[in-house]
């Protein structure tokens, strides 16, 4: 892992389609952007923020996510998630995450990711299934 630059940010966006609604993913009965989809988008932004600091063969895995989903987004709107690297404690990265639609912020929180050797991690996970 290369030296982390606190303050580094990344953003990712998605259009809210039928497959991303709470009613479709089972996290509620309403046709609004699902909280699990917001969480996944935040994690995607966090992965993007961490990527420039990884060495060959490294990746990150999520270890903690503490978020609030504070506003509903209807189908058809675009949601953008943003992640900002706050700090690194050894291989543990702490990020601030947020999500907004065209009307404003819809959620925020913190996220922790851990830098791992991808192949070693994969082998360890496969061994659990045996």
Q: How far apart are CA 91 and CA 130, in angstroms?
A: 28
**Catalytic, out of 11, 35, 80, 110:** 35
Catalytically annotated residue among 11, 17, 69, 92: 69
Identify the CA nearest to 5 among candidates 37, 59, 51, 56.
Answer: 51
Cα separation, 4 vs 55, whole angstroms: 12
For this structure, is 78 an active site residue?
Answer: no
Round the CA-based radius of gyration of the chain to a whole number and report it.
16
Query: How many angstroms separate the CA atoms of 102 and 80, rounded?
Result: 9
Active site residue 63: no
Active site residue 111: no
Distance of CA 118 to the CA centre of its chain: 18
Selecting among 3, 5, 11, 43, the annotated active-site residue is 43
Distance CA(69)–CA(61), nearest Å, equals 22
Catalytic residues: 35, 43, 69
């Amino acid at each position: 892992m290369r030296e982390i630059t606190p303050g580094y940010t990344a953003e990712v966006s998605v259009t809210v389609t039928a497959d991303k609604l709470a009613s479709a993913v089972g996290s509620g009965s309403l046709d609004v952007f699902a909280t699990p989809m917001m969480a996944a988008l935040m994690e995607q932004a966090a992965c993007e923020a961490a990527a420039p600091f990884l060495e060959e063969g490294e990746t990150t895995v999520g270890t903690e996510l503490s978020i609030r989903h504070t506003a509903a987004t209807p189908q058809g709107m675009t949601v953008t998630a943003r992640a900002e690297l706050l700090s690194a404690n050894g291989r543990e990265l702490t990020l601030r995450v947020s999500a907004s639609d065209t009307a404003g912020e819809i959620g925020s929180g913190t996220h922790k990711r851990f830098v791992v050797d991808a192949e070693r991690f994969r082998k360890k996970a496969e061994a659990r299934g045996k």
